[in-house]
Structure formats: structure tokens, C-alpha cells
Amino acid sequence: MTARTDPRFKSAAIPFIDVAGQRRRLGARIDEAIARVTEHCQFILGPEVRALEEELARFCGARHAVTCASGTDALLLVLMAKGIGPGDAVICPAFTFCATAEVAALIGATPVFADVDENTFNIDPASLERAIAKAKELGLNPKAVIPVDLFGLPADHEALAAIAAAENLFILDDAAQAFGATYKGQPLGTFGNATATSFFPAKPLGCYGDGGAVFTDDEDLAGLVKSLRVHGHGGHKYNNVRIGITGRLDTIQAAVLLEKLKIFRDEIVARNKAAERYNNALGNVAIVPRVPDGYTSVWAQYTMRLEPGRRDPLAAALKAEGIPTAIYYPTPVHRLEAYARFPTVDGGLAVSDRLAQEVISLPIHGYLDEPTQDRIIDAVHRALNG
């Protein structure tokens, strides 16, 4: 009896993201890394934090990497460092997690929502231009755009850079789901004026709690972010020269990430292999995601699209077989109660609204073995062809 024919295998619950599989691979290395921190007891901004920042910058080619407490803090700290606030507009895609727009609202700026491209799920450059026009029409000063590299795939950074240059926009790339991906041969972390990422445990590179980082080639910006993450300190922590936050990454999380970073490239290869198998097997029953020429993805999510009315039955059928699914995102940000008052591009956000009704994500991670993936594929085919 093989694993695929064993009834116990067919009924066993499948994790959506197998963090435990990675834990088994790293084994004692994580325990030893944490033990070193508990031995030296420098739990805040200890030596592992500095070492991680150096390794992260080296990994993506940015001059500076500044770690912080979360991906949301990474976005917030950059906007604070740029002095963005009331009267300023920050252009955000509507099809993303709310944190992208949340940080603009938190500092008193106005998020203005643009639509996305239906093939990449990322901000549509033409809609960005309309959002800039909308902001000006409302008397706002368009200051920044936060493109999101959604589900692990980079946005069209070349097109966005051209628009930003013409409009004098600051680009803050939200790579919370895509650190490790590349665009036209260049790693994320080196596009725009700054990049923010997240180390939430479910991310491709995740820690054992919350964490994030800012990447930039701007030395002055990096210095401001370092100050702002510790209450706006100057020469020392009791010399506060600006209003800041508590936004530090703790040393234990840095120690964990240092070990995970060592195997990250291997995991990216495995994620891409799994995504390719899904695409080859499911392209005849769903609209599967494709990576444009010149891009690479880290596949934070494997998100496909279905015709209206087919998503919920598929999710229910897979759940009955112990196979989890997820919907990122069931409601675009501009339709969430907290954000409905903010402006959108003229003509609405038709693509974002439609995608919210069509998308469904299947399990994907660096430890998805072929028998388990075949079980998922078989179940999807039976559900959609039945």
C-alpha cells in the first residue's frame, strides 16, 4: 500500500502552510539560536538584530535594512520619516490587506484607492494615474504610492517608477508577501525609494511572532527609521528629538530569522516547483496565476480564480476532505467599513470587486510533497468536474 492509496492519508488534515515541516528541517538549529539569546540576555536590539540587518541587506542588495516589530510598522515608519500627513494623498491598491491603507490613515493622510490588474492582482499603472488625478481634484497633495507585490509576485515597478517620477511621488513598495522575488533580474528591496516587508509566521520568510523590515539605499531615511522605531531618540534613548513609536524587532525573532534565511533560497525553489505543478494540473478547470516574463514569485499564496458561484462549493468539498482553502481577500479595502469614506478612482474599482468574488487559495509552502499536492489536485478536479 502506497501513501496515496492509504485511506488514512486520504483523510488526514493538510496544513495550509506547513510551519511544522520547516521546524522539523531546522531542528536544533533554531533551539540553539534562541538559547544563545537567553544566554547573553540582550533581548532588545541584541547582536542578532544587527547581524540580521546585515544579512537581509546582502540578500536583496539594498544598502540599508532596518528591522522593526511588524510589516505594518515598516510601512508606518517610512511614511512618518517622510513627514506625510494631513492634506497628503497616498495611493493604494484596493485589492490587498487593509494595512497598506491603514498606515496612511493612521498618520492623518488620505488613502486614495486605485484598481489592480486582473492577471497579476497588482496595482494597475493606468489606475494609479487616475488616482493621482482624483487626489488633485479633491485638493489633496499626492505624496506617495504604496504598490503591493501581492501573493509573492512583484508589481510592474518600471511602469510605476515612470509615473512616480513624472508626478514627484515617493514609492514605498509593500513587499510583505514577496520578499525574495525578483523583477527584471533585480531583487525586491531595491525598487522605489523604500521597501517594507513582513516576517509574520505565515510569510515566505517568517519568524516566530511578528516582525518586519525596511529596505532603502537612502542613508538619511534609514537613520530616521532607526530613530522613529525607538520613540524618536537622538543621540541616546532619553534624548527624544522627534515623535516615534515602539517599533523594534526583538532579538529572539532576529535569531530565528537568521537561521531561516540560510534555507530561504531552497524554499523559494520548492514553492515555485509546487506552483508549476498546480498550474500544469489545474489550468483546464480554473484561471491559474501566471508569472510574466522577467518576473519571479515567491508564491506567498497560490491564488486561482473561478467563475461566480463555483468558489464556495469547491471550498466546502475540499474542507470535507481535510483540505483547507483561504480567500484573500473577500472584501476589497475600499468596501470595508473603516475605509469606505476614503476616495476611489472615478469609475469605480471593477477589477478589485470582481476578484474578491472569484479568488481562492490552495495550500502552498516549501514542504508540500508531491503525494499531498496530488491529493489536493485530485480533489479540486472532482469538485469542479462533478
pLDDT digits (tens, 9 = 90+) for 25-72: 998 999 999 999 999 999 999 999 999 999 999 999 999 999 999 999
Looking up cell 499626492 gives 142
- The whole-number pLDDT of residue 236 equals 81
The phi, psi pair for 194, rounded to 5°, reads: -160, 155
pLDDT digits (tens, 9 = 90+) for 154-164: 999 999 999 99
- The whole-number pLDDT of residue 386 equals 75
pTM of the model: 0.95
CA-wise closest residue to 127 among 334, 351, 353: 351
pLDDT digits (tens, 9 = 90+) for 268-309: 999 999 999 999 999 999 999 999 999 999 999 999 999 989
pLDDT digits (tens, 9 = 90+) for 245-256: 999 999 999 999
Mean pLDDT, the chain, whole residue set: 96
- Please, where are the H alpha helices in the chain? 7-11, 19-26, 28-40, 47-60, 71-81, 99-106, 125-137, 157-167, 219-228, 251-282, 311-320, 350-358, 370-385
What structural domains does the chain harbor?
25-114+122-259 (3.40.640.10), 264-385 (3.90.1150.10)
- The whole-number pLDDT of residue 1 equals 43
- The whole-number pLDDT of residue 235 equals 83
- The whole-number pLDDT of residue 302 equals 98
Q: Provide the residue type at 152 as one letter.
A: G
State how far the alpha carbon of 176 is from the alpha carbons of 52, 83, 200, 215, in Å.
17, 22, 9, 12
The phi, psi pair for 230, rounded to 5°, reads: -125, 60
The dihedral region occupied by 151, where left means phi > 0, alpha psi between -120 and 50, and beta the remainder, is left
- The whole-number pLDDT of residue 12 equals 86
Rounded Cα distance between 281 and 378, Å, is 9
Report, as ranges of residue numbers, the positions in the chain whose pLDDT lies below 70. 1-11
How many degrees, rounded to 5, is the angle at CA 267 between CA 44 and CA 26?
55
- The whole-number pLDDT of residue 10 equals 61
- The whole-number pLDDT of residue 6 equals 55
